[in-house]
Structure 1
């Protein structure tokens, strides 16, 4: 009775393991390589030509898998403690973009004098004195306009305090210490 595909596959395991050890130089990696080879061979058994050398076919699969893994490892970065990943974490940009759109819309609802004052102080970085000089009014007037503009923006944007800014709780947790 002729051996079945399964029988020949099982009979080749010791030789496969020895070959995998010679390539991987590590028993665990060799065992993983043999296992992956057996799975691939089993999945692709329909492409095996009966009457040809099964052992050579399986060894080719093992060799190709080994070199594929080596190429893949060459592109991967070891980061078992997560230090590299932690440095790459950033607040998702779509939230910032949506927040900016909301802010622009809220800014447009302000009276022109308040909008001008808050832009000069908050966005352009001018001092109250410089903004007063630009607008041709008293420093107290600029301070009052900025205060009313801030209060109105907080109301329109439903902002109660500093906790309403920055990443949401889920994003902050994912980003860890980088959220600050």
Structure 2
């Protein structure tokens, strides 16, 4: 059985599983799509596998992708989070913080500025930002992570 048929047959189960481990529908959908893309890139690996082995591979890959995502999100150290939150928070209305934020983001590429402003000034989530910019929520999160790394280097 090929991966397309397994994906088609079990897609709802994959998404339900991903939702159960992420508690987030958008993230669950992204995980399943990432697993499917990964499967397509390694299609020859599935030639000697039966349906249940392929299904198991999908569940394992979804779980591992989620673990990778969590690890990536936790790479920002707690003290750096406090600094960034103080600088980026909309609640921090003092003039100095706003000037610091504005000066820091001016050094970033346009796409990174947009993400930070929408996230920290407009207080939008990745799905809402993705809809505004016409990109997927996972791309938003990836750009946000890259933007925060750039800001940390500036701080």
TM range (shorter): 0.3 to 0.5
Give TM-score scaled by structure 1 length.
0.41
Tell me which structure has the larger Cα radius of gyration.
1
